[in-house]
Amino acid sequence: MKMRFGFVSNSSSSSFTCDHCKTTESGYDVGISEFEMVECDYGHICCVHHLSVEIDDPKVIEAFLEIHPTYRKYANGDMIGEISYHFPSEFCPMCNLEAIGMDDLVSYYELRFGLNQDEVLDDIKNTFNTYDNFIKAARDANDEG
Ligand SMILES: [Zn+2]
Ligand SMILES: [Zn+2]
């Protein structure tokens, strides 16, 4: 599992890719909530519209406060920004195995087929020769199925 901490200060550009639909949003000095996306406690990024709950649903807020009790003292304020960065994984589609993100897909292939990234790269080189050939073949395969 890889933990990603979005957003390091000083006027940085941020970019977020939904693990569910692969949509990427980016901009300067913006937080994930402004893109209507959330990051779960396991680091998955997800558009709000894939979620089966509203982000300010009392269930979600309560789950968030249980995991991050230090925020209880702010519980009357607007916590959408905080919850967007620490979205409870019990409501995350990836954590519920309803969808899979790229990082998890890579981990799965590594575990299931015992291939590490170097071996995958070697195989791509041997099979396709160039990145161009590889990506065209991948696109064709996607179109078919
Ligand atoms: Zn999405
Ligand atoms: Zn998750």
Question: Which residue spans within the chain are E strands per DSSP?
Answer: 13-17, 24-28, 37-39, 45-47
Closest ligand to the CA of 101: 2
Of the candidates 33, 29, 36, 26, the residue with the CA atom closest to the CA atom of residue 9: 29
**Ligand 1: distance of its center to the CA of 83 in Å?**
17
Whole-model pTM: value is 0.76
pLDDT in tens, 26-66: 999 888 999 999 999 999 999 999 999 999 999 999 999 99
**Ligand 2: distance of its center to the CA of 29 in Å?**
24
**Ligand 2: distance of its center to the CA of 144 in Å?**
29
**Ligand 2: distance of its center to the CA of 137 in Å?**
30
